[in-house]
Amino acid sequence: MGHPITWDRYSLQLSAHRLQAEVEAILKEANPHEIDGPINWPALHVTGVLLDVLGRSWVVKIEEASPEATALSRYVEGVLEERGWSDVSVETEW
Protein backbone atom coordinates (compact mmCIF):
# COMPACT_ATOMS: atom_id res chain seq x y z
CA MET A 1 0.00 0.00 0.00
CA GLY A 2 2.99 2.32 0.15
CA HIS A 3 2.81 5.12 2.68
CA PRO A 4 -0.53 4.79 4.48
CA ILE A 5 -2.02 7.80 6.21
CA THR A 6 -1.89 7.50 9.97
CA TRP A 7 -3.89 9.87 12.09
CA ASP A 8 -1.70 10.88 15.02
CA ARG A 9 -0.21 14.36 14.80
CA TYR A 10 3.45 13.33 14.90
CA SER A 11 3.02 10.75 12.14
CA LEU A 12 1.13 13.23 9.98
CA GLN A 13 3.86 15.85 10.33
CA LEU A 14 6.58 13.31 9.63
CA SER A 15 4.77 12.02 6.55
CA ALA A 16 4.18 15.57 5.29
CA HIS A 17 7.89 16.43 5.65
CA ARG A 18 8.90 13.20 3.90
CA LEU A 19 6.47 13.89 1.07
CA GLN A 20 7.74 17.46 0.71
CA ALA A 21 11.35 16.25 0.51
CA GLU A 22 10.39 13.57 -2.01
CA VAL A 23 8.65 16.10 -4.28
CA GLU A 24 11.55 18.57 -3.99
CA ALA A 25 13.90 15.77 -5.10
CA ILE A 26 11.62 14.85 -8.01
CA LEU A 27 11.56 18.47 -9.17
CA LYS A 28 15.38 18.60 -9.11
CA GLU A 29 15.64 15.31 -11.02
CA ALA A 30 13.06 16.23 -13.68
CA ASN A 31 14.19 17.02 -17.22
CA PRO A 32 12.66 20.37 -18.28
CA HIS A 33 12.89 19.35 -21.95
CA GLU A 34 10.53 16.42 -21.37
CA ILE A 35 7.74 18.26 -19.50
CA ASP A 36 5.71 20.88 -21.36
CA GLY A 37 3.96 23.87 -19.90
CA PRO A 38 4.54 27.34 -18.48
CA ILE A 39 7.03 26.46 -15.74
CA ASN A 40 9.72 28.57 -14.09
CA TRP A 41 12.11 25.64 -13.58
CA PRO A 42 14.83 27.37 -11.55
CA ALA A 43 12.32 28.62 -8.98
CA LEU A 44 10.04 25.56 -8.61
CA HIS A 45 9.40 24.61 -5.00
CA VAL A 46 6.85 23.02 -2.72
CA THR A 47 4.78 25.56 -0.80
CA GLY A 48 2.55 23.18 1.09
CA VAL A 49 1.58 19.61 1.83
CA LEU A 50 -2.03 19.30 2.88
CA LEU A 51 -4.13 16.39 4.02
CA ASP A 52 -7.54 16.07 2.39
CA VAL A 53 -9.33 14.42 5.30
CA LEU A 54 -12.53 13.82 3.33
CA GLY A 55 -10.69 12.21 0.44
CA ARG A 56 -8.08 10.58 2.68
CA SER A 57 -5.34 11.80 0.37
CA TRP A 58 -2.43 14.22 0.24
CA VAL A 59 -2.37 17.44 -1.79
CA VAL A 60 1.02 18.91 -2.69
CA LYS A 61 1.20 22.55 -3.77
CA ILE A 62 4.02 23.54 -6.12
CA GLU A 63 4.75 27.18 -6.84
CA GLU A 64 6.28 28.72 -9.97
CA ALA A 65 4.28 26.73 -12.50
CA SER A 66 1.00 27.70 -14.12
CA PRO A 67 -2.14 25.90 -12.97
CA GLU A 68 -2.34 24.76 -16.61
CA ALA A 69 1.00 22.92 -16.26
CA THR A 70 -0.81 19.60 -15.99
CA ALA A 71 2.13 17.68 -17.50
CA LEU A 72 4.22 18.62 -14.46
CA SER A 73 1.48 17.57 -12.05
CA ARG A 74 1.00 14.23 -13.82
CA TYR A 75 4.76 13.65 -13.92
CA VAL A 76 5.23 14.27 -10.19
CA GLU A 77 2.18 12.16 -9.31
CA GLY A 78 3.48 9.31 -11.47
CA VAL A 79 6.96 9.33 -9.92
CA LEU A 80 5.46 9.51 -6.44
CA GLU A 81 3.31 6.47 -7.18
CA GLU A 82 6.37 4.57 -8.47
CA ARG A 83 8.06 5.41 -5.16
CA GLY A 84 5.17 4.12 -3.08
CA TRP A 85 3.14 7.29 -2.50
CA SER A 86 -0.42 6.59 -3.54
CA ASP A 87 -3.33 8.97 -3.06
CA VAL A 88 -1.32 12.13 -3.77
CA SER A 89 -2.50 14.93 -6.06
CA VAL A 90 -0.33 17.84 -7.17
CA GLU A 91 -1.53 21.39 -7.74
CA THR A 92 0.58 24.07 -9.37
CA GLU A 93 0.34 27.83 -8.92
CA TRP A 94 2.29 30.96 -9.68
Predicted confidence at residue 10, as pLDDT, reads: 84
pLDDT at residue 1 is higher than 60? no
Domain ranges of the chain: 9-93
> In which band, very low, low, confident or very high, does the pLDDT at 7 lie, cut at 50, 70 and 90?
low
CA 73 – CA 78 distance, rounded (Å): 9
* Contact in structure between 58 and 49 (CB atoms under 8 Å): yes
Q: Which helix (H) or strand (E) holds 43?
A: none
CA 71 – CA 40 distance, rounded (Å): 14
| β-bridge mates for residue 68, sequence order | none
List, in sequence order, the alpha helices (H) in 1-94: 9-29, 70-82
Q: Which CATH class is domain 9-93?
A: alpha beta
